[in-house]
A = this chain, B = another copy of it.
Amino acid sequence: MDTLDKKNDMINVINDEILKYLKKYSGKEMYEPMEYSLKAGGKRFRPMIMLLMCEALSNDYKDAIPFAVAIECIHTYSLIHDDLPSMDNDDLRRGVPTCHKKFDEATAILAGDGLLNIAFEIMLDKLQNNFEKKYLKAINCIAISSGTNGMIKGQALDIKAEGKNINEKELFNIYENKTGKLILASMKAGAIIGGASQEQLEIIEDTAYKLGIAFQIQDDILDIEGDQEKIGKPINSDLKNNKSTYVSIYGIEKAKKDYINLSSQVLKNLESLGFVNKQIYHYIKNLINRNS
Protein backbone atom coordinates (compact mmCIF):
# COMPACT_ATOMS: atom_id res chain seq x y z
CA MET A 1 0.00 0.00 0.00
CA ASP A 2 1.52 3.35 -0.91
CA THR A 3 1.54 6.42 1.27
CA LEU A 4 -1.54 8.03 -0.19
CA ASP A 5 -3.60 4.85 0.03
CA LYS A 6 -2.59 4.29 3.61
CA LYS A 7 -3.55 7.85 4.51
CA ASN A 8 -6.94 7.56 2.86
CA ASP A 9 -7.39 4.22 4.53
CA MET A 10 -6.91 5.80 7.94
CA ILE A 11 -9.30 8.67 7.16
CA ASN A 12 -11.89 6.03 6.25
CA VAL A 13 -11.24 4.26 9.53
CA ILE A 14 -11.75 7.55 11.38
CA ASN A 15 -14.95 8.39 9.50
CA ASP A 16 -16.41 4.95 10.11
CA GLU A 17 -15.48 4.97 13.77
CA ILE A 18 -16.95 8.46 14.31
CA LEU A 19 -20.36 7.32 13.09
CA LYS A 20 -20.13 4.03 14.99
CA TYR A 21 -19.40 5.82 18.27
CA LEU A 22 -21.97 8.55 17.61
CA LYS A 23 -24.72 5.96 17.19
CA LYS A 24 -23.72 4.33 20.44
CA TYR A 25 -23.55 7.42 22.63
CA SER A 26 -26.15 9.86 21.29
CA GLY A 27 -29.87 9.70 21.85
CA LYS A 28 -32.02 9.88 18.74
CA GLU A 29 -33.15 13.42 19.49
CA MET A 30 -29.67 14.83 18.95
CA TYR A 31 -28.23 12.39 16.42
CA GLU A 32 -29.11 14.28 13.26
CA PRO A 33 -27.50 17.69 13.98
CA MET A 34 -24.40 16.08 15.50
CA GLU A 35 -24.03 13.67 12.59
CA TYR A 36 -24.54 16.54 10.14
CA SER A 37 -21.72 18.58 11.62
CA LEU A 38 -19.39 15.61 12.07
CA LYS A 39 -20.02 14.44 8.50
CA ALA A 40 -19.55 17.91 7.02
CA GLY A 41 -16.01 16.93 6.22
CA GLY A 42 -12.80 18.41 7.36
CA LYS A 43 -9.38 16.88 7.06
CA ARG A 44 -9.65 14.89 10.31
CA PHE A 45 -6.31 16.49 11.05
CA ARG A 46 -6.46 16.03 14.82
CA PRO A 47 -7.48 12.35 14.85
CA MET A 48 -4.98 11.67 12.05
CA ILE A 49 -1.98 13.02 13.96
CA MET A 50 -3.15 11.22 17.08
CA LEU A 51 -3.48 7.83 15.42
CA LEU A 52 -0.30 8.24 13.35
CA MET A 53 1.71 9.29 16.40
CA CYS A 54 0.44 6.29 18.33
CA GLU A 55 1.29 4.03 15.37
CA ALA A 56 4.77 5.55 14.95
CA LEU A 57 5.57 4.60 18.55
CA SER A 58 3.84 1.25 18.94
CA ASN A 59 3.12 0.00 15.40
CA ASP A 60 -0.56 0.03 16.26
CA TYR A 61 -3.21 2.70 16.56
CA LYS A 62 -6.33 0.76 17.62
CA ASP A 63 -6.16 1.68 21.30
CA ALA A 64 -6.14 5.37 20.35
CA ILE A 65 -9.31 5.20 18.22
CA PRO A 66 -11.79 6.21 20.97
CA PHE A 67 -9.58 9.21 21.77
CA ALA A 68 -9.30 10.15 18.09
CA VAL A 69 -13.07 10.10 17.76
CA ALA A 70 -13.37 12.13 20.97
CA ILE A 71 -10.95 14.81 19.79
CA GLU A 72 -12.90 15.20 16.53
CA CYS A 73 -16.12 15.52 18.57
CA ILE A 74 -14.51 18.27 20.65
CA HIS A 75 -13.14 20.03 17.57
CA THR A 76 -16.55 19.85 15.86
CA TYR A 77 -18.40 21.12 18.95
CA SER A 78 -16.05 24.08 19.09
CA LEU A 79 -16.74 24.89 15.42
CA ILE A 80 -20.52 24.65 15.93
CA HIS A 81 -20.40 27.07 18.87
CA ASP A 82 -17.84 29.38 17.21
CA ASP A 83 -20.09 29.72 14.16
CA LEU A 84 -23.12 30.89 16.18
CA PRO A 85 -24.54 34.37 15.48
CA SER A 86 -23.32 35.72 18.83
CA MET A 87 -19.79 34.44 18.11
CA ASP A 88 -18.32 34.50 14.59
CA ASN A 89 -21.74 34.47 12.89
CA ASP A 90 -20.69 32.23 10.00
CA ASP A 91 -23.22 30.80 7.55
CA LEU A 92 -20.81 28.44 5.84
CA ARG A 93 -18.39 25.89 7.23
CA ARG A 94 -16.47 23.23 5.33
CA GLY A 95 -18.45 24.26 2.26
CA VAL A 96 -21.92 23.60 3.69
CA PRO A 97 -24.36 25.58 5.87
CA THR A 98 -23.30 25.82 9.51
CA CYS A 99 -25.27 23.81 12.07
CA HIS A 100 -27.44 26.72 13.23
CA LYS A 101 -28.22 27.59 9.59
CA LYS A 102 -29.14 24.02 8.70
CA PHE A 103 -31.17 23.51 11.91
CA ASP A 104 -31.62 26.37 14.37
CA GLU A 105 -29.63 28.11 17.08
CA ALA A 106 -31.00 26.14 20.02
CA THR A 107 -30.27 22.87 18.24
CA ALA A 108 -26.74 24.01 17.41
CA ILE A 109 -26.01 24.95 21.02
CA LEU A 110 -27.30 21.59 22.25
CA ALA A 111 -25.46 19.68 19.50
CA GLY A 112 -22.23 21.35 20.62
CA ASP A 113 -22.91 20.57 24.27
CA GLY A 114 -23.78 17.02 23.29
CA LEU A 115 -20.57 16.46 21.34
CA LEU A 116 -18.41 17.69 24.22
CA ASN A 117 -20.24 15.38 26.59
CA ILE A 118 -20.01 12.43 24.18
CA ALA A 119 -16.25 12.97 23.83
CA PHE A 120 -15.89 12.29 27.55
CA GLU A 121 -18.35 9.40 27.50
CA ILE A 122 -16.34 7.68 24.76
CA MET A 123 -13.00 8.13 26.51
CA LEU A 124 -14.35 7.13 29.92
CA ASP A 125 -15.84 4.00 28.42
CA LYS A 126 -12.45 3.01 27.05
CA LEU A 127 -10.98 3.55 30.52
CA GLN A 128 -13.75 1.45 32.04
CA ASN A 129 -12.85 -1.41 29.66
CA ASN A 130 -9.09 -0.96 30.11
CA PHE A 131 -8.44 0.44 33.55
CA GLU A 132 -4.89 1.64 32.90
CA LYS A 133 -3.29 4.89 33.98
CA LYS A 134 -2.06 5.78 30.50
CA TYR A 135 -5.64 6.11 29.27
CA LEU A 136 -6.52 8.38 32.17
CA LYS A 137 -3.43 10.44 31.39
CA ALA A 138 -4.61 10.79 27.79
CA ILE A 139 -8.12 11.84 28.88
CA ASN A 140 -6.68 14.37 31.31
CA CYS A 141 -4.43 15.80 28.62
CA ILE A 142 -7.41 16.28 26.29
CA ALA A 143 -9.67 17.64 29.05
CA ILE A 144 -7.20 20.30 30.13
CA SER A 145 -6.48 21.32 26.54
CA SER A 146 -10.12 21.77 25.61
CA GLY A 147 -11.08 23.76 28.70
CA THR A 148 -10.89 27.29 30.04
CA ASN A 149 -7.12 27.09 30.27
CA GLY A 150 -6.97 25.91 26.67
CA MET A 151 -9.30 26.02 23.68
CA ILE A 152 -12.15 27.88 25.40
CA LYS A 153 -9.69 30.49 26.70
CA GLY A 154 -8.47 30.93 23.10
CA GLN A 155 -11.99 31.49 21.83
CA ALA A 156 -12.71 33.99 24.62
CA LEU A 157 -9.53 35.91 23.75
CA ASP A 158 -10.39 35.74 20.05
CA ILE A 159 -13.82 37.26 20.60
CA LYS A 160 -12.39 40.02 22.78
CA ALA A 161 -9.82 40.81 20.07
CA GLU A 162 -12.35 41.21 17.28
CA GLY A 163 -12.21 44.62 15.63
CA LYS A 164 -9.17 45.58 17.71
CA ASN A 165 -5.53 45.89 16.79
CA ILE A 166 -3.75 43.34 18.90
CA ASN A 167 -0.03 42.89 19.38
CA GLU A 168 2.15 39.86 18.62
CA LYS A 169 1.97 38.53 22.15
CA GLU A 170 -1.82 38.66 22.18
CA LEU A 171 -2.01 36.98 18.78
CA PHE A 172 0.27 34.14 19.90
CA ASN A 173 -1.83 33.72 23.03
CA ILE A 174 -4.91 33.22 20.85
CA TYR A 175 -3.15 30.85 18.42
CA GLU A 176 -1.56 28.84 21.18
CA ASN A 177 -4.87 28.31 22.96
CA LYS A 178 -7.61 28.41 20.33
CA THR A 179 -5.98 26.07 17.82
CA GLY A 180 -2.70 25.02 19.37
CA LYS A 181 -3.85 23.32 22.54
CA LEU A 182 -6.10 20.79 20.80
CA ILE A 183 -3.40 19.97 18.22
CA LEU A 184 -0.95 19.54 21.08
CA ALA A 185 -3.42 17.30 22.91
CA SER A 186 -4.01 15.20 19.77
CA MET A 187 -0.34 14.44 19.26
CA LYS A 188 0.43 14.08 22.95
CA ALA A 189 -2.49 11.76 23.70
CA GLY A 190 -1.45 9.59 20.76
CA ALA A 191 2.08 9.52 22.15
CA ILE A 192 0.92 8.65 25.66
CA ILE A 193 -1.21 5.77 24.39
CA GLY A 194 1.65 4.65 22.13
CA GLY A 195 3.89 4.43 25.21
CA ALA A 196 6.27 7.36 24.58
CA SER A 197 9.11 7.84 27.05
CA GLN A 198 9.36 11.12 28.97
CA GLU A 199 12.19 12.20 26.68
CA GLN A 200 10.18 11.44 23.54
CA LEU A 201 7.14 13.17 25.03
CA GLU A 202 9.08 16.40 25.46
CA ILE A 203 10.18 16.43 21.82
CA ILE A 204 6.63 15.56 20.73
CA GLU A 205 5.21 18.45 22.76
CA ASP A 206 7.64 20.85 21.12
CA THR A 207 6.74 19.42 17.70
CA ALA A 208 3.01 19.71 18.28
CA TYR A 209 3.34 23.26 19.58
CA LYS A 210 5.24 24.35 16.47
CA LEU A 211 2.88 22.45 14.19
CA GLY A 212 -0.08 24.21 15.78
CA ILE A 213 1.38 27.67 15.22
CA ALA A 214 2.48 26.74 11.67
CA PHE A 215 -0.99 25.39 10.94
CA GLN A 216 -2.56 28.66 12.04
CA ILE A 217 -0.13 30.81 10.03
CA GLN A 218 -0.87 28.63 7.01
CA ASP A 219 -4.60 29.26 7.55
CA ASP A 220 -3.96 33.00 7.57
CA ILE A 221 -1.95 32.76 4.35
CA LEU A 222 -4.64 30.61 2.68
CA ASP A 223 -7.25 33.15 3.73
CA ILE A 224 -5.44 35.63 1.47
CA GLU A 225 -4.09 33.42 -1.28
CA GLY A 226 -6.24 30.28 -1.11
CA ASP A 227 -8.85 28.96 -3.49
CA GLN A 228 -12.34 29.61 -2.11
CA GLU A 229 -13.75 26.36 -3.47
CA LYS A 230 -10.95 24.27 -2.06
CA ILE A 231 -10.94 25.73 1.45
CA GLY A 232 -14.76 25.67 1.63
CA LYS A 233 -15.21 29.20 2.97
CA PRO A 234 -14.89 32.68 1.47
CA ILE A 235 -11.35 34.01 1.16
CA ASN A 236 -10.39 37.33 2.75
CA SER A 237 -12.89 36.55 5.53
CA ASP A 238 -10.43 37.59 8.24
CA LEU A 239 -9.91 40.91 6.48
CA LYS A 240 -13.65 41.41 6.14
CA ASN A 241 -14.21 40.50 9.78
CA ASN A 242 -11.54 43.02 10.75
CA LYS A 243 -9.52 40.27 12.41
CA SER A 244 -5.87 40.62 13.29
CA THR A 245 -3.93 37.70 11.81
CA TYR A 246 -0.30 36.71 11.46
CA VAL A 247 -0.39 38.19 7.96
CA SER A 248 -1.99 41.48 9.01
CA ILE A 249 0.57 41.95 11.79
CA TYR A 250 3.76 40.71 10.09
CA GLY A 251 2.94 40.92 6.36
CA ILE A 252 2.68 38.03 3.91
CA GLU A 253 6.43 37.65 3.28
CA LYS A 254 7.40 37.21 6.92
CA ALA A 255 4.39 34.96 7.43
CA LYS A 256 5.58 32.66 4.66
CA LYS A 257 9.15 32.71 5.93
CA ASP A 258 8.14 31.90 9.49
CA TYR A 259 5.84 29.20 8.25
CA ILE A 260 8.64 27.49 6.32
CA ASN A 261 10.96 27.84 9.28
CA LEU A 262 8.49 26.34 11.76
CA SER A 263 7.56 23.54 9.34
CA SER A 264 11.17 22.51 8.85
CA GLN A 265 11.66 22.41 12.63
CA VAL A 266 8.62 20.15 12.89
CA LEU A 267 10.08 17.74 10.33
CA LYS A 268 13.53 17.87 11.97
CA ASN A 269 11.95 16.94 15.30
CA LEU A 270 10.19 13.99 13.69
CA GLU A 271 13.50 12.93 12.13
CA SER A 272 15.20 13.11 15.54
CA LEU A 273 12.51 10.77 16.86
CA GLY A 274 13.45 8.31 14.12
CA PHE A 275 10.10 8.68 12.37
CA VAL A 276 11.41 9.44 8.89
CA ASN A 277 9.98 6.21 7.49
CA LYS A 278 6.80 6.41 9.49
CA GLN A 279 3.41 7.50 8.12
CA ILE A 280 3.25 10.52 10.41
CA TYR A 281 6.33 12.02 8.75
CA HIS A 282 4.84 11.76 5.27
CA TYR A 283 1.43 12.90 6.41
CA ILE A 284 2.80 16.06 8.00
CA LYS A 285 5.10 16.70 5.06
CA ASN A 286 2.12 16.58 2.70
CA LEU A 287 0.09 18.74 5.04
CA ILE A 288 2.76 21.40 5.06
CA ASN A 289 2.38 21.70 1.29
CA ARG A 290 -1.44 21.85 1.37
CA ASN A 291 -3.17 24.58 -0.57
CA SER A 292 -6.60 24.16 0.98
A residues apposed to B, CB below 8 Å: 25-27, 29-31, 34, 77, 81, 84, 86-87, 104-107, 109-110, 112-114, 116-118, 120-121, 124-125, 127-128, 131, 133, 136-137, 139-140, 143-144, 146-149, 152-153, 155-157, 159-160
**Interface class of chain A by DSSP:** helix
Is the Cβ of B104 less than 8 Å from the Cβ of A117?
A: no
25 inter-chain pairs at a CB distance below 8 angstroms, sorted by A residue, are A25-B148, A26-B149, A27-B152, A27-B153, A29-B148, A30-B148, A30-B156, A81-B109, A84-B109, A86-B109, A87-B106, A110-B152, A110-B156, A110-B159, A113-B113, A113-B152, A116-B116, A117-B143, A117-B146, A117-B148, A121-B140, A121-B147, A124-B139, A128-B136, A128-B137
Contacts of A139 in B (CB 8 A): 124
Task: Given the known inter-chain contacts A110-B152, A114-B152, A155-B110, please indicate yes or no for A131 contacting B120, CB distance below 8 A.
Answer: no
How many angstroms between the C-alpha atoms of A105 and B113 in the bound complex?
A: 15
Min CB–CB distance A37 → chain B (angstroms): 13
Per the bound structure, the CA–CA distance linking A116 and B149 in Å amounts to: 13
Given A81-B109, A106-B159, A117-B116; A124-B136 close (CB under 8 Å): yes
In the complex, which residue of chain B has the Cβ closest to the Cβ of A149?
Answer: B27
Decide: A27 and B148 in contact? CB cutoff 8 A. yes
